[in-house]
Amino acid sequence: MAEILASFSNDLADVAEKGGLGVVRVEARDRLPASGIIWTQPGVVVTAHHVVERDENIMVGLPGGEAVSATLAGRDPATDLAVLRLDVPAADSAKFAGPDGLRVGHMVLALGRPGRNVRATMGIIGALGKEWRTPAGGSVDRYLQTDTVMYPGFSGGPLVDVSGRILGLNTSALLRGVSLTVPVPTLVRVVDALLAHGRVRRARLGVGLQPTRLPQPMADELGQETGLLLLSVEPGSPAESGGLFLGDTIVSLGGRPVRQLDDLMAILSGEQAGKDLPVKIIRAGSLLELQVAPAEEE
CATH number for the domain that contains residue 208:
2.30.42.10
Query: Is residue 196 domain-shared with residue 208, that is, in the same domain?
Result: no
Residue 184 has pLDDT above 70, yes or no: yes
Contact by Cβ (8 Å): 266, 218: no
Output the furthest CA–CA distance in the chain (Å, rounded): 76
Q: How many CA atoms lie within 13 A of 2 on its CB side?
A: 0
Give the whole-angstrom CA distance, residue 138 versus residue 136.
Answer: 6
Could you tell me the residue range of the domain that residue 266 belongs to? 203-296
Give the end of a domain, one of 200, 226, 258: 200
Phi/psi at 8 (nearest 5 deg)? -65, -45
Model confidence band, residue 23 (pLDDT cutoffs 50, 70, 90): very high
Query: Is residue 239 domain-shared with residue 257, that is, in the same domain?
Result: yes
Residue 92 has pLDDT above 70, yes or no: no
Least confident of 7-21, 27-41, 45-59: 7-21
The per-residue pLDDT of the chain, averaged, comes to 92
Tell me what pLDDT residue 34 has.
97
Query: Is residue 245 domain-shared with residue 155, that is, in the same domain?
Result: no
State mean pLDDT over 273-285.
92
Least confident of 54-68, 73-87, 192-206: 192-206
Residue 89 has pLDDT above 80, yes or no: no
Query: Is residue 171 domain-shared with residue 283, that is, in the same domain?
Result: no
Query: Is residue 140 domain-shared with residue 209, that is, in the same domain?
Result: no
Q: Phi-psi bin for 285: left (phi > 0), alpha (psi -120 to 50), beta?
A: left
Give the end of a domain, one of 175, 200, 225: 200
Residue 106 has pLDDT above 70, yes or no: yes
CATH code of 141's domain:
2.40.10.120
pTM for the full predicted model: 0.82
Number of domains in the chain: 2
Query: Is residue 141 domain-shared with residue 112, that is, in the same domain?
Result: yes
Query: Is residue 160 domain-shared with residue 191, that is, in the same domain?
Result: yes
Query: Is residue 158 domain-shared with residue 24, that is, in the same domain?
Result: yes
Bridge-based pairing of strands 226-233 and 249-253 is antiparallel
Tell me what pLDDT residue 158 has.
97
Give the end of a domain, one of 144, 165, 200: 200
Query: Is residue 182 domain-shared with residue 237, that is, in the same domain?
Result: no
State mean pLDDT over 136-149.
90
Query: Is residue 113 domain-shared with residue 248, that is, in the same domain?
Result: no
State mean pLDDT over 144-159.
94
Query: Is residue 41 domain-shared with residue 188, that is, in the same domain?
Result: yes
State mean pLDDT over 45-51.
97
Model confidence band, residue 93 (pLDDT cutoffs 50, 70, 90): low
Query: Is residue 124 domain-shared with residue 266, that is, in the same domain?
Result: no
Tell me what pLDDT residue 143 has.
95
Considering only residues 93 and 78, tell me which one the structure prediction assigns the higher pLDDT.
Answer: 78
